[in-house]
Structure 1
Amino acid sequence: MAWIEFCDQQPWECSIDLSEPDTIPLTDGTWASLQEVNRHVNGTIMAVPDQDHWGVVDRWDYPDDGLGDCEDIQLLKRKLLVEKGLPQRAIRMTVVIDELGAGHAVMRVRTDRGDLILDNKNDAVLPWQQTGYVYVKGEGVDGKAWVWFGDQVAPTATAAK
């Protein structure tokens, strides 16, 4: 419901321009932009649960006051990447199960070298397989609907042994 409310308030964030590419070339410039935005936002926004911040269980919004939960932080990253010229269609909100077994939002950037993850828990931009997360669902590239990933598990060091 929080995503729907966010989309109602900021419809441009949830509209899909099908003329945009759904993957982007991973150039040196793109890589630098991903790293810079991830580090910058992680370093300037304090992660705070919605209940403590807004007094509600779940709210998606930009962290304009310097506070936000994982969804808010990822939305700001997408906004900044789009301002740098990256196509919004290739930058998708994604829900995972984190290392603690809790729901968590990350930003998935679809590139010609595989999906990369921007995460407020890590300043490094990582290939999705290196996060250790279980991937549950994410924004689709062809419309407002979210798609299920079938709880795709990223390999971990212990699983690889």
Structure 2
Amino acid sequence: MTGLASGAGAQTAGVPVASLPAAASGDARAPYAWNDLCRRTPAECRVDLREPETVEMTPKLWKTIVAVNTRVNREIEAVTDEDHWGVVDRWDMPDDGKGDCEDFALLKRKRLAEAGIPRRAMVMTVVIDEENAGHAVMMIRTDRGDFILDNKRNAVLPWSQTGYVYVKRESQMRTGWTSLGGAQTSTVAAVR
């Protein structure tokens, strides 16, 4: 792929500059709380192989992605699962207006699916953040690379420019997870 992004804000004709996609490297164990979510709401975890694995990045799609990321970040009050549910980890829709990182990501995926983006191209992803802690984001896989929707920032960045270590993401081939091999990025993420 030509035209690799050299800066987070680089764009061409209303779409981000292309970057290489994140490479999967085999099966990975799903987070326990994701398995619990799948038991409670199986539709959140189903993979429809008829849907495309990536979407074409258009100016309209880019605008929609950025708007949904920003809107959800403003709408939801960030609280830990311990404070919210009294448990260490729970993945759920933030229907009461509160949630932590994976809840933000689930709502973003839901809103983008309602806008017509194939669910299969949007995968929940687990990373190690700038504080060396586990963090969940939503990765959208496009023909211009993989982009991250994150509750820590309103900017939607190529996966390789977030500063995170990529651990695993949902599989696009079956209900399950795939390893990202601890792929590291060079940029340090902003603390928020």
- CA–CA separation in structure 2 for the residues paired with 1:40 and 1:54: 24
Is 1:44 the counterpart of 2:75? The answer is yes
Structure 2 match to 1:77: 108
- CA–CA separation in structure 2 for the residues paired with 1:156 and 1:44: 27
Q: Percent identity?
A: 59
Is 1:103 the counterpart of 2:118? The answer is no
**RMSD of aligned residue pairs (Cα, Å):** 0.8
- CA–CA separation in structure 1 for the residues paired with 2:140 and 2:49: 16
Structure 2 counterpart SS, 1:156: coil
- By percentage of residues, which structure has more helix? 1
Structure 2 counterpart SS, 1:35: helix
Selected match of 2:65 from 34, 39, 54:
34
- CA–CA separation in structure 2 for the residues paired with 1:26 and 1:17: 21
User: Which residues in structure 2 correspond to 1:77-156 (within 5 Å)?
Assistant: 77-156=108-187
TM-score between both structures, scaled by the size of structure 2: 0.80
Alignment deviations for residues 37-83 of structure 1 (CA, whole Å, 9 cap, x no partner): 00000001011110000000111100011100101110000000000
Amino acid at match of 1:144: T
Alignment deviations for residues 71-130 of structure 1 (CA, whole Å, 9 cap, x no partner): 111000000000000000000000000000000000000000000000000101100111
Structure 1 counterpart SS, 2:112: helix
Structure 2 match to 1:8: 39
Structure 2 counterpart SS, 1:39: helix
Structure 1 counterpart SS, 2:35: helix
Amino acid at match of 1:116: F
Give aligned pairs, total. 157
Higher relative contact order (CA 8 A, sep 6+): 2
